[in-house]
A and B are shown apart, each in its own frame.
Chain A
Amino acid sequence: MLVTEGAHGPRIDAANPPAAAIGARAGARLTDARMLDPGIVAVPSDHMGDDATLEKMALAAQRWGPWSAPDRPDAILLDATGSAHLAGGEAAMLAEIEARYAAQGYDARSAIAPTAGAAWALSHYGAAHTVLLDPHAIAAALAPLPVAALRLDDDLIVLLTRLGLKSIGDILSVPRAGLARRFRNRRSADANPLMRIDQLTGRLPEPLVPIIADPPAQADRRLMEPLRHSDLVKRVIGDLAGDLARTLEAKRQGARRLLLLLWRVDGGAIDRRVELASPSRDPAHIAALFDERLDDIDAGLGIDQARLVAIWAEPLVHGQVRLDGENEDEGDIARLVDRLVTRLGAQAVRSPRAQASHLPERAQRWASVGPAIGATAALQLDLGFHHRPLKLLDRAEAITVIYATPEGLPRRFRWRGGLHDIVRVEGPERIAPEWWRERSSARLRDYYRIEDESGRRYWIYRHGLIGDGRGGIPDWYLHGLFA
């Protein structure tokens, strides 16, 4: 049984036949089903996974017709106009579809009708693999089906049932003018049975948005002789990059993330991936990025196939080359960042960004360098009396300080083995902890800007107060270095 967490507890999405036999049905609450049988097994639904599978299935269904669209959550609409004869007729096509899904372990119901709405109704509520080809026979064929076959909102179905309109035939027998007066919502077809009926019979159009597969650009080479030397592999990668650049150029795209796959003769595969700071399709640049990553490849008996895939591509138009032949600056920066990231790792190449926090170490965060580097961000200045050091230590270092208790100015401190006399001092600047994200026992900090006898300026703080009830005698730390 599959369940989803709802506002009022878990709700059942689907139940397998044994669970359905006990009395669990889709839409009911898990607690109700547990009352019927405490041993019932509930598994959380994977809606995203279902969606992805449905999309893949819709793509695969294009073997029977040119256009298909996933109809969430559990149906696929296929435009089979003029393509049924390829499978040997409509009935044979439905049989083939059901057989193919059965072979994969899926339980499928299918139907063919002149309109998408009619096909949906027949496949969900009609007899198994119905083939309905005559557009004028739609109304007659669908009359016995329940109103739920109209794809209406749940509360509207309840309303129609209360009005005594239980089947499509009942609605068709009501005068049209009366329905049009009662249901005036012309915006959404879900809330208007008349619109649904018209869509069913083909009087109103119902456009289908087809799903179109967009395979990532890739280049592939099979080699006659297995390669064992890295310079030959590099040449192959250069060729692949050239091919890929041509494909990407035709699609007006640039690669952001590339995957290189190398297959060895013995069947083992090696993969290397590279990420770019901005979209690019420059073959020399791509090949140079992979050069860095090829040092630790174990070619074994040799490499006989290579493939380069642009997993992630972004639109990229031709850049204007200036008259004097120099390229734009931004491209150069992106290339530099790519090279640095490829060799040193993304964690080593970062750029500070201001962040909304008053704690010094949280007031900036380190973000990866994106395409926006160099673009002047909106400048927000600090308060003039908030002096911040030029450099902050990653972890504030504990120091021993002589100071006048309880809250006097520091006089002398020992740091890294050296004794510093404090000549000038300004403070304290009290920085309270962020109580909304820290524990209640977090202590405040009193920051002092100090200068020692040789003119070195530091930023030190006392962590807590005496008698604040959050620990013993406060410690002192050195946090930053002023110019």
Chain B
Amino acid sequence: MSKIARVSLPNAVAYRGGQPMIAWLLHRISAIGIVVFVSMHIWAAFFLYAVAGTTGGVAEALTEFYEALPMQVFVLFCILYHAINGLRIVILDMWPSLYRYNREAMWVQWAIFLPLFLLPAALMILGGS
């Protein structure tokens, strides 16, 4: 039941939805990131332990990919952003009258998210693990 919107790419990029648009976009990107990571992780573990030696190194390649530092930082970003933004969505769905404070809530959200993400990310990058 998709509603068809014929928007050209330049128009789509020029659309200035502000904070809510960014939140919506990051929520979707982080959702896809988490699903890809979790699926990849479980299949790699399954191939590694259940059918070891028969997959031609697929499991090792997958493991090497998601254990690389950039992917780890990306996964941390996805999980933290999705969790905190999701909490805001749940709260607004339960108490719709709070929508008046949505703008403030989004700034509070950044204030919670950025330290929670940047400190471990800095430790991961500087610590090299």
A and B bind: no
Chain B interface residues (CB < 8 Å from chain A): none
Q: Could you list which residues of chain A lie within 8 angstroms of chain B, going by C-beta atoms?
A: none
